[in-house]
Chain A
Amino acid sequence: MAVTKLFGASVKRREDPRLITGRGNFTDHIKLPGTLFMALKRSPHAHARIVRIDASKARAMPGVVAVYTGQDLVDKLAPVPCAWLIPDSDLKVPSYRALAVDKVRYVGDAVAAVVAENRYVAEDALEAIDVEYEVLPAIVDQERATQDGAPQLYDDVPNNIAFHWKLHAGDFDSAWNQAEVKLSRRLINHRLIPTAMEPRGALAHYNPGTGDLTIWCTSQNPHVHRLLLSAVTGIPETRIRVIATDVGGGFGSKIPMYSGEMLASAISRDLGRPIKWFESRRENYVATIHGRDHIQYVDLAATRDGKVTGIRVKSYANLGAYLSTASPGVPTWLFGLMLSGAYAILAVHVDVFGVVTNTTPTDAYRGAGRPEATYLLERMMDLLARELGMDPAEIRRKNFIPKEQFPYTTATGLQYDSGNYEATLDRALELVNYQQLRREQEELRAQGRYLGIGFSTYVEVCGLAPSAAAGAMGFQGGLWESATVRVHPSGKVSVFTGSNPHGQGEETTFAQLVADELGVPIDDIEIVHGDTEMIPFGMGTYGSRSLAVGGTAVIMATRKVKEKATKIAAHLLEVAPEDVAFENGRFFVKGAPDRAKTFQEVAGAAYLAWSMPEGVTPGLEETHFHDPINNTFPFGCHICVVEVDADTGKVSFRKYVAVDDVGNVVNPMIVDGQVHGGIAQGLAQAVYEYAAYDENGQLLTATLMDYAVPKASMLPRFDVDRTVTPTPVNPMGAKGAGETGTIASTPAVANAIIDALSPFGIDHIDIPLTPERIWRAVQERRG
């Protein structure tokens, strides 16, 4: 890594001035003359045949321009695509129509679209559409859905099993047969709702004159949406422009292709007018993807002295009613490959059944697969410690991959890039004053107070890449990233990135990288994202990949610019390029620093092109497509300290310590913020959030009144610290920090609460650990 000025500095965010003054460019702010508003009629039933749709009353209402049903669009819009076709799994991808034809399969399945002069009229018209349904039995539980006699969603998906994915690495059977200690558990990793504060929406404008479709939408990956919109509408990619400038959070939920954006596009083409659609929060809850939802059977084999020798997992993953864009990859590859975690476990057997049910489709939600693996493993490590009477910190230490063994190839075939797991554990123990805390725990127990200490020593995979791996896993795309660095004649710089931040702060961090490379003031650098017309191509922001993959593309393109500029400078200085040095934005002759040209002078010369070196073309602009050699693997140790009131089940947070290692850090302030927010979401899974369905498939937590997104008063302060183990995978040595908090925190919190309850003989309660669940468990033990 070069010695630089802004790398490592907490530069205040450059995106903030517009956002704190109400001048952001969010999708719903965009207005075009003549825009019609679209509203979607959604099924109130989880499973039903559509007998008849009568939209005549709605069509007759003043202000209503059109009503579309599924049948009207069959020839105008292909089904919602699934783009992760996992191999060797007998994968079945049922047809997923933007507007259901014949049958609805979850509460929220869209059946009709109303287009009207404004949103009030459109919503009124929804009420006037009469849909006759023949209600069918529904199935919600994914394990029961696979049993004979369960309601079937599709004729061609027997037992509702859309795939059976397996990965059998190492010899689990002999590990199990020889195991001195065997633990078997059924764990539930429940369903969550991502809840980006900005719901999803789109403004689609098809110009009949030119045949161009411009769509502003809430997207984490505009180019991917352009590709998919082209595939479903038949409009060539060259004629589609997707714009997503400011996006109000995503957490995975703005990756997939959805019916709303597709319908707005198709109907705009049909009517030749701009169509705006913006979902309500209730729609967001029933019809934007959910996350997690596994039922897991786990067998852990270990020696009497606490060494884990093998793990076997059978998981039922609830896919919901249809296969969302990336859904098959999340509970399989992103879960199964990570099941040995930070530990040297040589046998890992995984079987995952992807099951369709009458629920909202699931897909990637912050962490995507890794939280499901990490919670399982970290919970089992605590159970093993309990079984053997060992300290939970020490059982982890005993099983860690030692730092000398990196790069380390896991049983599942991943190559962990770098690591020093014990250092994060030691640091976290120090920060909580562990020995003292255990003594205090003893003292409090004697007074009938229940303190608990919970660990999570996680490793996760991020910087999702490389493309060859994506292909081997059946992902229908590459996982590289692009960047174009355009130096203008004045020496000011526009950087076009395929990453598409929605809160991560790349307008700041990427500018820090470029400012360092080129020695120009950060104010001279613009980071441009979220517009397919301006950016070569982009895979987008998810999987904690923007800095590691997109940032590297920016650096590589910048270095190409510098290389060309050096040639031009050498020419102007009348020396050979190898005799030119570049420092702090100045090119100068080695040994004669006064003979110099500024970066700005060289940029000007590149555009004047009056005198260019032999073979060098005018202009100063370079593009780089970066496909990394490997993923990156951040890790760390989180420790949560709680006190549980055994009489009420109420949990109070005493302390939360996070020691993460995300490699080198470009902007510590931003990384801290990512960690805080990640912890909040993971902690909320452990104690608050739960997407609950009744047996008929009605989502009971369909509003923010019922779904417990934490409020400020429900969260503790977070003590965040870091160790630094750079990755060799990219020139920054940076790993990624977007999901570590979410992945680490759920088991840390759950383990703390279970630890607090250990005097009652309680060794497990399924999350979320609500006061009621805790109270019931304690009551049961107390008799």
Chain B
Amino acid sequence: MQITVKVNGVAHTHDVEPRMLLVHFLRDVLNLTGTHIGCDTSQCGACTVLMNGKAVKSCTVFAVQADGAEITTIEGLARDGQLHPVQEGFWEMHGLQCGYCTPGMIMTAVDLLQRIPNPTEEQIRHYLEGNLCRCTGYHNIVRAVQYAAEKMRA
């Protein structure tokens, strides 16, 4: 099937198998490998991207379902060489170690701060439930999101 998907501001038209997952479309067809795959049951959230502004797990969306959609991946988050405040927060607060869950974690945090600009720690922890990290114990991820929230409010 032919689909057209706007990814990070650029429209891409490709023929894809109906069963192709969006995450494979991004990684294998568009070579956007910043979106990671960490499981096969939609638990880990490493593949989280923004679809029409909302966080989705791209392993749970078929590429054909994204036809006509606007997708933002981790590669498209920084603008004009400026890190997004959430990216900055992860760097400042040591919110990552191996970095494998990080792209998905950041995209979910971006979605969170769009909805709740001033989240409590409890809200942050609750909102990140769909994203697993094995390295940090989440302690510094929470601080990273708090850093970004403060920065975005300023």
User: Cβ of B19: which chain A residues have Cβ within 8 Å of it?
Assistant: 120
Contact among B73, B83, B100 for A249, CB-based, below 8 A: B100
User: Cβ of A22: which chain B residues have Cβ within 8 Å of it?
Assistant: 32-35, 73-75, 103
In the complex, the answer to whether A196 meets B98 with C-beta atoms within 8 Å is: yes
In the complex, the answer to whether B33 meets A29 with C-beta atoms within 8 Å is: yes
Most chain B C-beta atoms within 10 Å of own C-beta, residue among A20, A246, A280 = A20
In the complex, the answer to whether B106 meets A713 with C-beta atoms within 8 Å is: no
The CA of A246 and the CA of B34, in the complex, are separated in Å by 12
Q: Of A47-55, A146-154, A498-506, which binds chain B?
A: A498-506
Interface residue A712 (Cβ < 8 Å from any Cβ of B):
yes
Interface residue B58 (Cβ < 8 Å from any Cβ of A):
no
Q: Of A355-363, A672-680, A723-731, which binds chain B?
A: A672-680
User: Cβ of A135: which chain B residues have Cβ within 8 Å of it?
Assistant: none
Contact among A23, A29, A251, A712 for B129, CB-based, below 8 A: A712
User: Cβ of A703: which chain B residues have Cβ within 8 Å of it?
Assistant: 39-41, 43
Q: What is the size category of the interface that chain A forms with chain B? A: 35 or more
In the complex, the answer to whether A28 meets B33 with C-beta atoms within 8 Å is: yes
Could you list 15 A-B pairs, sorted by A, with CB under 8 Å? Answer: A12-B94, A15-B99, A20-B87, A20-B91, A22-B35, A22-B74, A120-B17, A196-B98, A197-B36, A503-B97, A672-B140, A673-B136, A673-B140, A704-B43, A713-B128
Interface residue B117 (Cβ < 8 Å from any Cβ of A):
no
The CA of A505 and the CA of B98, in the complex, are separated in Å by 8
In the complex, the answer to whether A676 meets B132 with C-beta atoms within 8 Å is: no
The CA of A685 and the CA of B19, in the complex, are separated in Å by 38
In the complex, the answer to whether A248 meets B99 with C-beta atoms within 8 Å is: yes
List CB contacts (< 8 Å) of B7-65 with chain A. Answer: 17, 19-20, 27, 31-41, 43-44, 46
The CA of A20 and the CA of B27, in the complex, are separated in Å by 17
Interface residue A24 (Cβ < 8 Å from any Cβ of B):
yes
In the complex, the answer to whether A705 meets B134 with C-beta atoms within 8 Å is: no
The CA of A199 and the CA of B140, in the complex, are separated in Å by 23
Q: How far is the CB of B128 from chain A (nearest CB, A)?
A: 4
Interface residue B5 (Cβ < 8 Å from any Cβ of A):
no
Known A246-B99, A281-B44; contact A21-B78, beta-carbon cutoff 8 A: yes
Contact among B37, B98, B125, B137 for A247, CB-based, below 8 A: B98
In the complex, the answer to whether B134 meets A21 with C-beta atoms within 8 Å is: no
In the complex, the answer to whether B41 meets A281 with C-beta atoms within 8 Å is: yes
Contact with A along B93-117 (1 / 0, CB 8 A): 0101111111100100000000000
In the complex, the answer to whether B135 meets A20 with C-beta atoms within 8 Å is: no
The CA of A199 and the CA of B98, in the complex, are separated in Å by 12
In the complex, the answer to whether B137 meets A679 with C-beta atoms within 8 Å is: yes
User: Cβ of A400: which chain B residues have Cβ within 8 Å of it?
Assistant: none
In the complex, the answer to whether A680 meets B41 with C-beta atoms within 8 Å is: no
Question: Sorted from nearest, which 6 A-B pairs have the closest CB atoms?
Answer: A22-B34, A248-B100, A680-B137, A19-B99, A503-B98, A22-B74
Contact with A along B77-96 (1 / 0, CB 8 A): 11000010001001110101
Interface residue A397 (Cβ < 8 Å from any Cβ of B):
no
Q: How far is the CB of B1 from chain A (nearest CB, A)?
A: 15
In the complex, the answer to whether B100 meets A26 with C-beta atoms within 8 Å is: yes
In the complex, the answer to whether A673 meets B37 with C-beta atoms within 8 Å is: no
Contact with B along A684-720 (1 / 0, CB 8 A): 0000000000000000000111000101110101100
In the complex, the answer to whether A712 meets B98 with C-beta atoms within 8 Å is: no
User: Cβ of B74: which chain A residues have Cβ within 8 Å of it?
Assistant: 20-22
User: Cβ of A672: which chain B residues have Cβ within 8 Å of it?
Assistant: 94, 140
In the complex, the answer to whether B139 meets A676 with C-beta atoms within 8 Å is: yes
Known A677-B134, A712-B124; contact A502-B98, beta-carbon cutoff 8 A: yes
Interface residue A388 (Cβ < 8 Å from any Cβ of B):
no
Given contact pairs A22-B33, A712-B128, A717-B139, a sample of 9 additional A-B residue pairs in the complex whose CB atoms are under 8 Å apart: A20-B74, A21-B74, A31-B31, A198-B38, A199-B37, A248-B98, A673-B136, A679-B137, A703-B41
Contact with B along A246-260 (1 / 0, CB 8 A): 111101000000000
Contact among A31, A282, A711 for B132, CB-based, below 8 A: A711
Interface residue B71 (Cβ < 8 Å from any Cβ of A):
no
Interface residue A16 (Cβ < 8 Å from any Cβ of B):
yes
Interface residue A616 (Cβ < 8 Å from any Cβ of B):
no
Interface residue A217 (Cβ < 8 Å from any Cβ of B):
no
User: Cβ of A28: which chain B residues have Cβ within 8 Å of it?
Assistant: 27, 33, 37
The CA of A720 and the CA of B145, in the complex, are separated in Å by 20
Interface residue A670 (Cβ < 8 Å from any Cβ of B):
yes
Interface residue B138 (Cβ < 8 Å from any Cβ of A):
yes
In the complex formed, the residue of B with least CB distance to A20 is B87
The CA of A712 and the CA of B106, in the complex, are separated in Å by 14
In the complex, the answer to whether B43 meets A705 with C-beta atoms within 8 Å is: yes
In the complex formed, the residue of A with least CB distance to B132 is A709
User: Cβ of B100: which chain A residues have Cβ within 8 Å of it?
Assistant: 24, 26, 196-198, 248-249
Interface residue A17 (Cβ < 8 Å from any Cβ of B):
yes
In the complex, the answer to whether B133 meets A21 with C-beta atoms within 8 Å is: no
Contact with B along A554-598 (1 / 0, CB 8 A): 000000000000000000000000000000000000000000000
Interface residue B149 (Cβ < 8 Å from any Cβ of A):
no
Q: How far is the CB of B76 from chain A (nearest CB, A)?
A: 9
Interface residue A669 (Cβ < 8 Å from any Cβ of B):
yes
In the complex, the answer to whether A677 meets B135 with C-beta atoms within 8 Å is: yes
In the complex formed, the residue of A with least CB distance to B39 is A281
Q: How far is the CB of A337 from chain B (nearest CB, A)?
A: 28
Contact among A15, A281, A670, A676 for B137, CB-based, below 8 A: A676
In the complex formed, the residue of B with least CB distance to A707 is B43
Interface residue A239 (Cβ < 8 Å from any Cβ of B):
no
Contact among B77, B92, B131 for A12, CB-based, below 8 A: B92
The CA of A641 and the CA of B126, in the complex, are separated in Å by 22
In the complex, the answer to whether A197 meets B98 with C-beta atoms within 8 Å is: yes
Known A197-B132, A713-B126; contact A20-B83, beta-carbon cutoff 8 A: yes
User: Cβ of A247: which chain B residues have Cβ within 8 Å of it?
Assistant: 98
Q: How far is the CB of B43 from chain A (nearest CB, A)?
A: 4
User: Cβ of A195: which chain B residues have Cβ within 8 Å of it?
Assistant: 134
The CA of A19 and the CA of B99, in the complex, are separated in Å by 6
In the complex, the answer to whether B91 meets A704 with C-beta atoms within 8 Å is: no
User: Cβ of B106: which chain A residues have Cβ within 8 Å of it?
Assistant: 20
In the complex formed, the residue of A with least CB distance to B102 is A19
User: Cβ of B40: which chain A residues have Cβ within 8 Å of it?
Assistant: 280-282, 703
Interface residue A655 (Cβ < 8 Å from any Cβ of B):
no
User: Cβ of B35: which chain A residues have Cβ within 8 Å of it?
Assistant: 22
In the complex formed, the residue of B with least CB distance to A194 is B134
In the complex formed, the residue of A with least CB distance to B143 is A717
Interface residue A13 (Cβ < 8 Å from any Cβ of B):
yes
Contact among B31, B124, B126, B133 for A197, CB-based, below 8 A: B133
The CA of A196 and the CA of B91, in the complex, are separated in Å by 21
Known A503-B135, A676-B137, A718-B139; contact A669-B98, beta-carbon cutoff 8 A: no
In the complex, the answer to whether B41 meets A704 with C-beta atoms within 8 Å is: yes
The CA of A120 and the CA of B133, in the complex, are separated in Å by 27
The CA of A13 and the CA of B33, in the complex, are separated in Å by 22
User: Cβ of B43: which chain A residues have Cβ within 8 Å of it?
Assistant: 703-705
User: Cβ of B125: which chain A residues have Cβ within 8 Å of it?
Assistant: 711-713, 715
List CB contacts (< 8 Å) of B135-153 with chain A. Answer: 135-142
Contact among B17, B39, B102, B103 for A704, CB-based, below 8 A: B39
Most chain B C-beta atoms within 10 Å of own C-beta, residue among A246, A502, A677 = A677
Known A120-B19, A196-B98, A503-B97; contact A712-B142, beta-carbon cutoff 8 A: yes
The CA of A482 and the CA of B39, in the complex, are separated in Å by 35
Most chain A C-beta atoms within 10 Å of own C-beta, residue among B17, B99, B103 = B99
In the complex, the answer to whether A23 meets B135 with C-beta atoms within 8 Å is: no
In the complex, the answer to whether B73 meets A715 with C-beta atoms within 8 Å is: no
In the complex formed, the residue of A with least CB distance to B31 is A31
Contact among B38, B94, B133 for A669, CB-based, below 8 A: B94
Contact among A16, A23, A197, A679 for B44, CB-based, below 8 A: A197
In the complex formed, the residue of A with least CB distance to B99 is A19
Most chain A C-beta atoms within 10 Å of own C-beta, residue among B103, B126, B131 = B103
